[in-house]
Amino acid sequence: MAVYALWNNKGGVGKSYLTFQIASQYALTHPQERVLVVDLCPQANSSSMILGGIEAGEAAIEQLSGMTPPRTIAGYINDRIVSPYVDTHSGANYLTQARTLNPTVPANLYLICGDEELEMQAARIQLACTAGPANAWQIVHTWIRNLIDDVRNSWDQQDITVFIDCNPSFTVYTELAISASDRLIVPFSADGSSKRAVRSVLNLVYGIVRRPGQVQSQYYRNVQQFRMALPQIYSYVGNRLTQMNNSSASAFRNVVLEIFTEVYRVYQANPGLFAIHPGGSPAPINRTTFRMMFEEQINDANTASVVSGALGIPICNLTSGTKRFAGRSAHVNQSQLDKQQPNIRDFVAGIE
Ligand SMILES: Nc1ncnc2c1ncn2[C@@H]1O[C@H](COP(=O)(O)OP(=O)(O)OP(=O)(O)O)[C@@H](O)[C@H]1O
Ligand SMILES: [Mg+2]
């Protein structure tokens, strides 16, 4: 049971979609636990899906963000902007049990809803990092950790599983998300810029530079200065894999291979940066065992994915047939569900 951040420096790779699917499936398969999603992206895409999709979910976000104070991440961040260096212990006030707004998600799934206001708050978060005591940066970078502790305490449960959906840019609230997490899941897609994006993750979070003279990220240097913990890499996830035997499928295989090569090099030099998965497997000793542990692939489920997100129905609960949303209808084929449901189930089964 740990805090997972889903992050890649690149947009549109499936961070929010996978947060929704993985958290829902984890909650479904662990009914005795409570599962928390913290949406640290101002676009609030994972919140929208968790709260019921493009109609009900969007309306729910409006409702939560319109409350006084907003029952969203922005409500909590406001508390901390007012009291940056003294913990407000107010995180649990901003929780929403997703099931109260979306009947299709498990009852043990909870959300700190995303809020576009976060973008406006970024400048003030940044200011709080530089004003105040000598370790202001460190204190501000524990705000989300504090928030998770508040939720843990309010539930009187030490062991909870948390998924944090991040914004692609490495802005200050993304830094807070990374600083709050124990494990990092890095989704990527099959295009040419994915390798560059994964390299950015490795530099921005872990200070891994590729050329002599290349500067390490300020984030990494601050983490070192304040001796803070970094998340361990849990997996890199090739998302929207197309299975057809055509050029796009082989292009995808090449991208996956390139990213594997990149990440494996880091593992060989710094195995401590990686989270050895539970379940009794020993630390990987070669390329094959490394890939088995750290590489995941999620197929593209086409219309089924669109419908899952639009209706806020987790893909593993979605059935085939004609579905209606936003005044139109779409047909979900069983074959689309069969492509992705096993991937999500397998991935989640490996999460402790
Ligand atoms: N495995 C998949 N199969 C089909 N569609 C997918 C899959 N994963 C993601 N998508 C779709 O791809 C689009 C981008 O996904 P998503 O919004 O999750 O990316 P993101 O990384 O969170 O983007 P951003 O950087 O803007 O936050 C969405 O429309 C989503 O529904
Ligand atoms: Mg997103």
CATH number for the domain including 49?
3.40.50.300
**CA 8 – ligand 2 centroid, Å:** 10
Mutate to test the pocket of ligand 1, among 6, 7, 16 (most ligand atoms within 8 A of CB): 16
Find out whether the beta carbon of 300 lies less than 6 Å from any atom of ligand 1: yes
Regarding pTM above 0.75, the answer is yes
Nearest CA to ligand 1 atom 4: 300
Question: Which residue segment(s) compose the domain that 294 sits in?
Answer: 3-349
Nearest to 114 by CA among 154, 170, 60: 60
Find out whether the beta carbon of 350 lies less than 6 Å from any atom of ligand 1: no
Find out whether the beta carbon of 235 lies less than 6 Å from any atom of ligand 1: no
Find out whether the beta carbon of 43 lies less than 6 Å from any atom of ligand 1: yes
Sign of the C-alpha dihedral, residues 42, 46, 50, 56?
A: positive
Cα–Cα dist 148/59, whole Å: 26
Q: What is the mean pLDDT of residues 141-157?
A: 96
Q: What is the pLDDT of residue 38?
A: 98
Find out whether the beta carbon of 260 lies less than 6 Å from any atom of ligand 1: no
Contact of 203 with 209, CB cutoff 8 Å: yes
CA distances from 234 to 60, 146, 239 (A): 32, 22, 15
Q: What percent of the chain is modeled with pLDDT above 90?
A: 88
Beta bridge partners of 237: 187, 296
In the 3-class helix/strand/coil scheme, how is the chain assigned residue by residue? Answer: CCEEEECCCCCCCCHHHHHHHHHHHHHHHCCCCCEEEEEECCCCHHHHHHCCHHHHHHHHHHHHHCCCCCCCHHHHHHHHHHCCCCCCCCHHHHEEEHHHCCCCCCCCEEEECCCCHHHHHHHHHHHHHHCCCCCHHHHHCCHHHHHHHHHHHHHCCCCCEEEEEECCCCCHHHHHHHHHCCEEEEEECCCCCHHHHHHHHHHHHHCCCCCCCCCCCHHHHHHHHCCCCCCEEEEEEEEEECCCCCHHHHHHHHHHHHHHHHHHHHHHHCHHHECCCCCCCCCCCCHHHHHHHHEEEEECCCHHHHHHHHHCCCHHHCCCEEEEECCEEEEECHHHHHHHHHHHHHHHHCCC
User: ∠178-183-189 over CA atoms, to 5°?
Assistant: 80
User: ∠293-157-57 over CA atoms, to 5°?
Assistant: 75
The amino acid sitting at 266 is V
**13 or 157: which carries more pLDDT confidence?**
13
**CA 14 – ligand 1 centroid, Å:** 4
Pairing of strands 109-112, 35-40: parallel
At 272, the pLDDT band (50, 70, 90 cuts) reads: very high
Q: Which atom belonging to ligand 1 lies closest to the Cα atom of 8?
A: 21
Contact of 218 with 279, CB cutoff 8 Å: no
Most confident segment among 161-165, 244-248, 278-282: 161-165
Cα–Cα dist 201/184, whole Å: 10
Cα–Cα dist 26/23, whole Å: 5
- The model's pLDDT over 60-93, given as tens digits with 9 standing for 90+, comes to 999 999 999 999 999 999 999 999 999 999 999 9
CA distances from 12 to 16, 20, 164, 348 (A): 9, 14, 16, 21
At 251, the pLDDT band (50, 70, 90 cuts) reads: confident
At 26, the pLDDT band (50, 70, 90 cuts) reads: very high
- Report the number of distinct structural domains present in the chain: 1
Q: What is the mean pLDDT of the chain?
A: 95
**CA 239 – ligand 1 centroid, Å:** 9
Find out whether the beta carbon of 114 lies less than 6 Å from any atom of ligand 1: no
